[in-house]
Amino acid sequence: MKKLYSALMTAFNEDGSINEAGTREMIRYNIDVNKVDGLYVGGSTGENFLLSPEQKKQVFKIAIDEAKSDVDLIAQVGSLDLNESKFLAKFVTDLGYPKISAVTPFYYKYTFEEIKDYYNEILKGVDNKLLIYSIPALTGVGLSIEQFAELFENPKIIGIKYTNADFYLLERVRNKFPDKLILSGFDEMLLPALALNVDGCIGSTYNLNAPRVRAEMDAFDAGDIDKARELQKVSNDAITALIQNDIYPSLKLVFEEMGVHAGFTKAPMAKPTDEMRADAKKIYQDYFKK
């Protein structure tokens, strides 16, 4: 059975401090209502790259304390500071996270040898398994099938969070590495990813949309492609509306409409305007109201 993971959001207070109660509410909603298989903690959706190391540690502690062993947990520890990544990899492993993930190093134009060293260094002395977080549209780092093969020479690297619109590469990777874990990371492209036999998916909109996504995955597995296609269309309509209303604050505003205290986004992300709130209410009514 293919696995469904929400990319966990972080609730913030207006001053940018972490709202622990709100973060716990989102975790519980994902587990108790969305019935997700797992949570991807510390990724882009959690606004991770805006957080201090201490805030990252706080989020990792909150998530595992609240989720316990109810669902699978993946901790994203990648950072531009390799020492921070290594420290966080050990920190979350000691907390009990069964898997870690790390975004490819970005901003500077790293060579592949530097990227490979980065992953191998993160895993040195850490008894854990790692998913490469490949998201070329935001990092500018694209990996070839030959480069994935080199990274997989490290037995602790077990797969990829594949957030990439290159489906030719996905097909090649899936068929060359049938035993590796590949989780699709683009919510709007889930259906073609399912057709290429990914093992599951991780997504930001799944915080709100997990029941519809689960229904799509079930329809696909049952061979009802027309139903799966229709469900993907509705999901994509909702995603388009969220993007047009500024997706990160809008995800939290819709969560508030659902009775979950999701807090604010962290500056320099936008604070919600009255217009954004009104549009988020309409998105909730059009796509998520039960």
Query: Is-contact 227 26, C-beta < 8 A?
Result: no
Whole-number Å distance between alpha carbons of 111 and 113:
5
CATH fold of 3-224 reads TIM Barrel (3.20.20)
Which is it for the CA torsion 201, 205, 206, 209, positive or negative? negative
Query: What's residue 59's pLDDT?
Result: 98
Between CA 3 and CA 15, with CA 9 as vertex, the angle to 5 degrees is 170
Q: Residues annotated as binding site for pyruvate?
A: 45, 202
Q: What pLDDT does residue 290 have?
A: 84
List the chain domain ranges.
3-224
State the catalytic residues: 133, 161
The C-alpha angle with vertex 134 and arms to 283 and 23, in degrees rounded to 5, equals 45
Where is the binding site for aceneuramate, in residues?
44-45, 163, 185, 187-188, 204
pLDDT of 4-29, one tens digit each?
Answer: 999 999 999 999 999 999 999 999 99
pLDDT tens digits, one per residue of 63-116:
999 999 999 999 999 999 999 999 999 999 999 999 999 999 999 999 999 999
Tell whether the model's pLDDT for residue 254 goes beyond 90.
yes
DSSP conformational letter for 266: P
Annotated binding site: 44-45, 163, 185, 187-188, 202, 204
What is the phi/psi pair of residue 48, to 5°? -55, -40
